[in-house]
């Protein structure tokens, strides 16, 4: 009897070829595991394809609820955006996949876990660091990194081995989808000066073709978690799916990003993430109203740490657990409703309300009803400016050496 390997199977060319290749080269029986994280795919067809190509067993695991609960929502609570732009869709899905692959490998008594990533991307890092953390003794295999075939050679190999290749001219792009967004790479997109052609986008309408009438959506949050859309209670998966459709139909969520990969490459990435963008904006708006300035400043720094850590494949680190505890605590009063306006590619926050709001009309208003005692401002400013005044008298104005440059550094 051959040893078993669990393969993360997407149904695409590389992982299909990997089923054959792992058996041919290492005499391993392949158990194909496909994880549904909200990618719009025909999972029963994928499962059947794995079996047709030669897997001894093929399973599809619905990971959507786990994905939302343990990965997407905590990341939303953190407002995690890699390099300020990318909501981390693919990056968030990998540690969940690592966990489910490890569980399956253990249950099946497999000797190894294999994935279809090449040696140039981030996903290999995320899979392998994740698997390494959860199952330190598990062997990891990366056929597409090892076999050294070009894309044409891979297609040849597939044809020789009767592995079905889509008859339609295969997409020139490399695409990865999950509930939190869609990533598109390769083809003409590799030229950073080229505008992404229309066929790149499938989740979002082109903003210039989006409806002329704006759509308003009210998002209800409880402790930083979105729980209602327009007053209707929805489970997390449905809420995200619905918002992807609604915001996407107004062209919201397109991102064009030159990003820094873990392996040192700069790459041009196109994303569609309508729900992620709308939800992060709305969540930030609620936090802006319900949190103190100091909390907001500190949390922004934590958001950068969280985003880097997720992107860099370090989900199962103790630092992530520490930061998660802080993020969770920070959300205690992030409850309320945010109204957003979706219009021609933009999602704008146009209203917010909350029982925990720190916004005080009596303090903010310039109309009658003003409770802010303006006479206190004078003394406050005197103390506030005291260190600046003291330093300026001694150094800025008192320095007899060299020319005074009060407005800024002189150019040479
Ligand atoms: N650049 C993004 C990331 O590293 C998206 C990667 C998409 N993955 C893929 N296999 N096409 O998270």
Question: Considering only CA atoms, which residue is closest to atom 9 of ligand 1?
Answer: 176
- d(C-alpha 356, C-alpha 290), whole Å: 6
pLDDT of residue 412: 63
Question: Considering only CA atoms, which residue is closest to atom 10 of ligand 1?
Answer: 176
Terminal-to-terminal C-alpha distance of the chain? 77
Neighbours of 383 (CB within 10 A): 8
Give the CA distances from residue 33 to residues 7, 41, 194, 332, in Å, rounded to whole numbers and listed in that order. Answer: 6, 14, 37, 38
Mutate to test the pocket of ligand 1, among 12, 185, 276, 310 (most ligand atoms within 8 A of CB): 185
Residues carrying an active site annotation? 14, 94, 123, 174
| Ligand 1 center–CA 308 separation, angstroms | 14
Averaged pLDDT score across all residues of the chain:
95
Tens digits of per-residue pLDDT, 86-136? Answer: 999 999 999 999 999 999 999 999 999 999 999 999 999 999 999 999 999
Query: In the sheet where 346-353 sits, what is the strand order?
Result: 232-233, 225-229, 215-222, 336-343, 346-353
Residue the block writes with tokens 């208003």? 365
pLDDT of residue 135: 98
Beta bridge partners of 229: 219, 232
Evaluate if residue 168 carries a pLDDT over 70.
Answer: no
Residue the block writes with tokens 């709305």? 282
Evaluate if residue 43 carries a pLDDT over 90.
Answer: yes
Evaluate if residue 224 carries a pLDDT over 80.
Answer: yes
Mutate to test the pocket of ligand 1, among 39, 87, 183, 258 (most ligand atoms within 8 A of CB): 183
Tens digits of per-residue pLDDT, 346-403? Answer: 999 999 999 999 999 888 888 888 899 999 999 999 999 999 999 989 888 887 775 5
Evaluate if residue 196 carries a pLDDT over 70.
Answer: yes
| Ligand 1 center–CA 237 separation, angstroms | 21
Question: Residues with beta carbon inside 6 Å of ligand 1?
Answer: 90-91, 122-123, 174, 176, 183, 185, 269
pLDDT of residue 54: 96
| Ligand 1 center–CA 182 separation, angstroms | 9
Angle at CA of residue 359, ends 355 and 360, nearest 5°? 105
Rounded to 5 degrees, φ, ψ at 112 are: -155, 160
Helices (H), 37-122: 43-53, 64-66, 73-78, 89-108
Question: Considering only CA atoms, which residue is closest to atom 1 of ligand 1?
Answer: 269
Evaluate if residue 262 carries a pLDDT over 50.
Answer: yes
What is the average pLDDT across 143-168? 87
Give the start-end residues of each E strand in 37-185: 57-62, 112-114, 139-141, 174-178, 181-185
Evaluate if residue 247 carries a pLDDT over 80.
Answer: yes
Pairing of strands 4-8, 232-233: unpaired
pLDDT of residue 167: 47
What secondary structure does DSSP assign to 297-352, as a single string?
HHHHHHHHHHHHHHHTT-TTSHHHHHHHHHHHHHTTT--EEEEEEEETTEEEEEEE
pLDDT of residue 404: 62
Beta-carbon contacts of residue 330 (< 8 Å; ≥ 6 apart): 77, 224, 291, 295, 299
Tens digits of per-residue pLDDT, 394-410? Answer: 888 887 775 566 677 76
Share of the chain above pLDDT 90, in %: 86
Question: Considering only CA atoms, which residue is closest to atom 4 of ligand 1?
Answer: 122
What is the average pLDDT across 245-271? 97
Prediction pTM value: 0.95
- d(C-alpha 7, C-alpha 385), whole Å: 64
Tens digits of per-residue pLDDT, 312-354? Answer: 999 999 999 999 999 999 999 999 999 999 999 999 999 999 9
């Amino acid at each position: 009897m051959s040893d078993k390997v669990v393969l993360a199977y997407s149904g695409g060319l590389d992982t299909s070829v990997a089923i054959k290749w792992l058996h041919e080269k290492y005499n391993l029986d392949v158990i194909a595991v496909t994880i549904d994280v909200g990618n719009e795919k025909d999972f029963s067809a994928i499962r059947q394809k794995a079996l047709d190509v030669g897997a001894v067993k093929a399973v599809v695991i619905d990971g959507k609820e786990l994905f939302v609960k343990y990965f997407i929502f905590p990341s939303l609570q953190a407002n995690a955006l890699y390099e300020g732009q990318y909501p981390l869709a693919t990056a968030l899905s990998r540690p969940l996949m690592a966990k489910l692959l490890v569980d399956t490998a253990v249950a099946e008594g497999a000797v190894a876990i294999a994935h279809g990533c090449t040696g140039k991307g981030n996903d290999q890092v995320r899979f392998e660091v994740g698997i390494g953390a959860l199952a330190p003794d598990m062997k990891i295999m990366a056929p597409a990194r090892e076999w050294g075939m070009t894309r044409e050679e891979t297609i040849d190999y597939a044809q020789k081995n009767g592995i079905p290749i889509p008859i339609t001219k295969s997409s020139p792009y490399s695409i990865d989808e999950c509930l939190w967004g869609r990533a598109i790479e390769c083809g003409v997109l590799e030229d950073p000066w080229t505008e992404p052609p229309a066929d790149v986008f499938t989740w979002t309408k082109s903003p210039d073709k989006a409806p002329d009438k704006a759509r308003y959506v009210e998002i209800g949050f409880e402790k930083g978690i979105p729980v209602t859309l327009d007053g209707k209670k929805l489970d997390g998966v449905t809420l995200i799916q619905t918002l992807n459709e609604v915001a996407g139909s107004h062209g919201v969520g397109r991102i064009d990003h030159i990003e820094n990969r873990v392996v040192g490459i700069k790459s041009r990435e196109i994303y569609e993430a309508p729900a992620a963008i709308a939800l992060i904006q709305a969540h930030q708006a609620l936090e802006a109203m319900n949190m103190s300035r100091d909390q907001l400043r500190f949390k922004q720094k934590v958001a950068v740490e969280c985003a880097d850590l997720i992107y860099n494949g370090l989900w199962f680190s103790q630092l992530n657990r520490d930061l998660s505890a802080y993020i969770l605590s920070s959300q205690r009063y992030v409850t309320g409703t945010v109204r957003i306006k979706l219009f021609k590619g933009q999602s704008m926050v146009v209203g917010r309300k909350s029982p925990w709001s720190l916004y005080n009309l009596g303090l903010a208003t310039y109309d009658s009803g003003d409770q802010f005692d303006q006479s206190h401002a004078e003394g406050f400013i005197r103390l506030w400016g005291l260190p600046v005044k003291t330093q300026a008298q001694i150094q800025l104005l008192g320095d007899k050496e060299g020319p005074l440059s009060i407005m800024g550094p002189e150019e040479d």
